[in-house]
Each structure stands twice: as C-alpha cells, then as structure tokens.
Amino acid sequence: MSIERALQDIRDGKIVLVFDFDDREKETDMTLASEFVDTEKVRTLRKDAGGLLCTTTPYALAKDVGLPFLSDTFWDCSDKYPLLKAMAPTDIPYDNTKSSFGITINHRKTYTGITDSDRALTIKTYADVLFSGKPVEEIQKEMGVNFRAPGHVHLLNTSEKILENRKGHTELCTALMIMAGVKPSATICEMMGDDGNARSKEEVKKYAEETGMTFITGEEIIAAWNEFKSKN
C-alpha cells in the first residue's frame, strides 16, 4: 500500500508527496520529517516545490512551550493596532478555522536566515530542541538561546484534535510523522506549477513516477489515521 511505503520513506528521511482533497486546496505538498531536514532537502523543496516552506508543531506542545497561533497574537495586539482586527482571517474559502500559521524563526547562528543551509539549520535544530524530552522550562530556555523571531522559517500549529475539525496539510503531514514514529514535526512546501497555479494532481503523479517519490492523498492518510487511533 502507498501509505505503508510513505511511512517507511518518512522513517528513512525521504520526501513524500501529499495531495489534500479535490474539494479543499487541491494542492500537493512535499513533506518530510523535520528531524531529517538538511541543506539538500531544503534545496529540493525550494526548486521542485516552490511554495512556502513551513514546519509544523503539535497543538499541545506548542501551547505548553508558548508558541502561539499568529492570528491570536494579532488579535491580542488589535487594541493597539486596530487594522489587525479588521484583517482577521474569518473568510478562508477552504477552511473554517483561524489558520494554522504560528510565528516565524531563524536560528541565531544564521546570517540572513533564508539560504538553504540557514533554513536547514533552523528546522533541524528546532526539531531537536522541541522534542528533546526535557521539561518545558528547559525547552523554553533553549528556544530562546537558539532562535530569534521573526525569521524565515514559518511555524504551523496543528489543530487541537488532529484531523477532526481541520484536515489541512498541517494536520495530514503531522499525522504521518506520528504514525511513522519519528519526531512529530513535518516540514512542508506546496508544489507550484508554471501556469500561475498549484501543480495539478496529474502533473504531481508524473513527477512522482519520474523521481520515485511516494504520492498519497488525504483520504488515504485519514483512513490510516483512524485505524492507527483505534489501536493506540
């Protein structure tokens, strides 16, 4: 099955192609486990995907450590900056939530933060620090030591109950990481086409055949996730 192959690819540090749904974004994201991100993989995401490179965080851990949803941060500042309230994301056409965007970060040892090597350092260290298993207070201290904000790596927070009220790439790809048994953070990037739109499903399938990458759909992930939850 493609889902089994995808999970093994993730364990092996490979990139997997995830299409969400025909009635949602209708987009495919390249994804891999954040703990395996390196300069070469960032370059592949930048050149062969071309969308926004983001790194996910499970809701509970983001809340414990203190990594907010960006929309909440904007809302909390809206008395001082009323325009932020007027621009609240209440009309996302494919989503009924407030957006999964969190803050942006750079590793303190980066220069500009945007190069392939800079972003690889930021993402890999983020996964190592966040999932170190240390007490929350120590993780918070190490986050401050290692990262500055804002930066060039976009963090995404999952919804509280993954794949229940929101079924976006943030949740789909994080669920894959959980099922694969790696650190539960996915690094993702949308695959863009040359016509001004997202690359079509058919084009992505052709790319998958040419590169040997595994292509899976949101339906396959949700089916596997429901089975996984029933056993765990």
Pairwise CA distance, residues 48 & 66, whole Å? 33
165 given a catalytic annotation: no
Burial status of residue 78 (CB atoms within 10 A of its CB: 0-12, 13-18, 19 or more): middle
Q: Which of 20, 25, 27, 29 is catalytic?
A: 29
118 given a catalytic annotation: no
Pairwise CA distance, residues 228 & 232, whole Å? 6
Pairwise CA distance, residues 27 & 169, whole Å? 9
Pairwise CA distance, residues 25 & 198, whole Å? 9
Q: Which of 35, 116, 171, 190 is catalytic?
A: 190
116 given a catalytic annotation: no
Q: Which of 94, 165, 197, 219 is catalytic?
A: 94
232 given a catalytic annotation: no
Q: Which of 38, 152, 203, 220 is catalytic?
A: 152
95 given a catalytic annotation: no
Q: Give Cβ neighbours of residue 15 (< 8 Å, ≥ 6 apart).
A: 9, 30, 31, 32, 41, 44, 45, 213
152 given a catalytic annotation: yes
Q: Which of 25, 27, 54, 173 is catalytic?
A: 54
Q: Which of 106, 107, 154, 169 is catalytic?
A: 106
Q: Which residues are catalytic?
A: 29, 54, 94, 106, 152, 190
